[in-house]
Amino acid sequence: MTPKLRKLVTSQSSASSALEPLTDYDLVLRVLREGDAAAFELIMRRHNQRLYRLARSILKNPTDAEDVVQETYVTAFQKLESFRGPSGFSAWLAKIALNFAYRRVRRRGRVVFFEDFVSPPNGEGDPLISRIENIESSEPNPELNVQIAELRQLLESAIDALPIEFRTVFILAKVEGQSIKEIAETLSLNEQTVKTRLFRAKKKLQETLGDAFDELVPSLHSFDGERCDRIVFRVLAKLTQ
């Protein structure tokens, strides 16, 4: 039976701080037993950024990624009783998101490969690549900030151009900071395969962008509060209709 939410939470502050120490499994039980909307809101806020970046790594489109995250939560809510726990909730959510993301990829019928980026039609590389090594100063500098923004966009484009299997592993490892073991569990792969894909992804990116690309990686696919709130509100509104 699908649980019923007890009330609609309308703001981030309304999710009780008393729930913060609870594990994901404890929150799941509160939703199942009490229809606690604050508990489900906290679940979403905990996992929003990771699911968004995972979906974004596959779809390369922020709007599509948001849609996938919302679909993931609605489906997870409907199937919450099937989660056995107590561990593995993050991987369980991620697999639902992966299914929705790959379904969209199949509907599109095409994937952009890394070679499309490193070998542009005109045969010329992007001049911004040669400027990556110049970003060293942390002092306020409008011109430098523009340059960093341009380079971040270039890095995002380079990562978007990786084959999906490399791109997803790279985002989970270098942006989200997941361990090899966690990634293997999330993607249903063995650990050696994860290591191999991560190595190849990094090698391709370093060949294109230079060693300094590591400094920009943590800021990729930023997930601001507005996007987080938007996803939470839309899902809660749908589930309480």
28 vs 191: CA distance, rounded Å? 28
Q: For residue 215, is pLDDT > 60?
A: no
**Confidence bin at 137 (pLDDT 50/70/90):** very low
What average pLDDT does the segment 180-185 reach? 90
**Which has more confidence, 65 or 176?**
65
**Which has more confidence, 158 or 212?**
158
86 vs 83: CA distance, rounded Å? 8
Q: For residue 117, is pLDDT > 60?
A: no
Q: For residue 45, is pLDDT > 60?
A: yes
- Nearest to residue 209, comparing CAs of 220, 225, 194, 224? 220
pLDDT of residue 142: 58
DSSP state of 174: I
What average pLDDT does the segment 108-124 reach? 40
Whether the CB-CB separation of 69 and 47 falls below 8 Å is answered with no
48-93 pLDDT tens trace: 988 998 898 888 888 999 999 999 999 999 999 999 888 889 989 9
pLDDT of residue 127: 33
Report CA-CA distances (Å) from 40 to 81, 86, 90, 226.
14, 16, 14, 18
**Confidence bin at 9 (pLDDT 50/70/90):** very low
Averaged pLDDT score across all residues of the chain:
76
